[in-house]
């Protein structure tokens, strides 16, 4: 039976890599799919992995009817056997409903990949709707790591190297952006609560206030 599957995890845990692998495996068997993405780090209409792999995709713009797009492709003679959606957290809830309809009415698998919560630890609306509707929710087994070595469970946004907890929910960035730009870092819950990023931890370790004092 066709399924709507939501693969979730923090940033830097291999979601896009798995999406590319699923597409590769199916295309190697002669199947043809459509890849949707939104605000990928490589630019509009791209699905990219941090390992350097990139493929063409359809930009799922706000307000786009994903079900209608697929029906249009098929009515023009195009073949669609499966659908992959990367950065699914950025989709509107109604677009997630459209993906569920693709599974139910068009009888094809939909594989959605996304982050569950934002930098404030709040659910993305798209991810919330996927959790509500998906046939399966899979947590990726490749664990991202906090700077302390613990399993990373939260996404932190940084501006000028400092963690922030206010601002627009969607601001495109990545984990390897220069410190002066908007960037992201994955942290364990303890250090996310303390707003202690790797840069902040290094600064604390180098501070004279915490260095041992030798008696004169």
Helices 93-106 and 66-75, packing angle to 10 deg:
40
Helix-, strand-, coil-residue percentages of the chain, each rounded to 5: 30, 25, 45
Query: Structure tokens of 43?
Result: 């630019």
Tell the burial category of 89 from Cβ atoms under 10 Å away from its Cβ (0-12, 13-18, 19+): buried
Distance between CA atoms of residues 53 and 106, nearest Å: 29
The residues, ordered by sequence, that sit 6+ positions from 67 with a Cβ below 8 Å of its Cβ are 98, 99, 101, 102, 105, 106
The two tokens of residue 50 are: 């941090």
Is position 132 annotated as part of the catalytic site? no
Helices (H), the chain: 15-28, 66-75, 93-106, 125-133, 189-193, 198-206
Residues 87 and 37: their CA atoms lie apart, in Å, by 6
Write down the catalytic residue from 3, 44, 56, 87.
Answer: 87
> Closest by alpha carbon to 4, among 95, 104, 139?
104
Catalytic residues: 87
């Amino acid at each position: 039976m066709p399924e709507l599957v939501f693969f979730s995890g923090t940033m830097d845990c291999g979601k896009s890599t798995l999406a590319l692998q699923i597409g590769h495996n199916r295309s190697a068997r002669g199947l043809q799919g459509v890849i949707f993405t939104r605000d990928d780090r490589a630019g509009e209409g791209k699905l990219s992995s941090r390992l350097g792999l990139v493929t063409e995709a359809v930009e799922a713009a706000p307000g786009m009817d994903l079900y209608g797009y697929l029906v249009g492709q098929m009515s023009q003679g195009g073949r669609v056997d499966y659908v992959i959606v990367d950065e699914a957290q950025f989709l509107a809830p109604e677009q997630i409903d459209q993906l569920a309809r693709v599974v139910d009415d068009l009888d094809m698998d939909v594989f959605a990949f996304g982050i569950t919560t934002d930098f404030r630890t709040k659910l993305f609306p798209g991810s919330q709707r996927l959790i509500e509707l998906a046939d399966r929710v899979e947590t990726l087994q490749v664990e991202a790591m906090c700077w302390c070595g613990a399993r990373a469970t939260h996404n932190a946004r940084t501006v000028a190297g400092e963690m922030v907890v206010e601002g627009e929910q969607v601001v495109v960035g990545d984990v390897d952006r220069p410190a002066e730009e908007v960037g992201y870092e994955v942290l364990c819950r303890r250090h996310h609560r303390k707003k202690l990023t790797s840069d902040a931890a290094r600064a604390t370790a180098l501070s004279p206030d915490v260095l041992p004092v030798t008696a004169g």
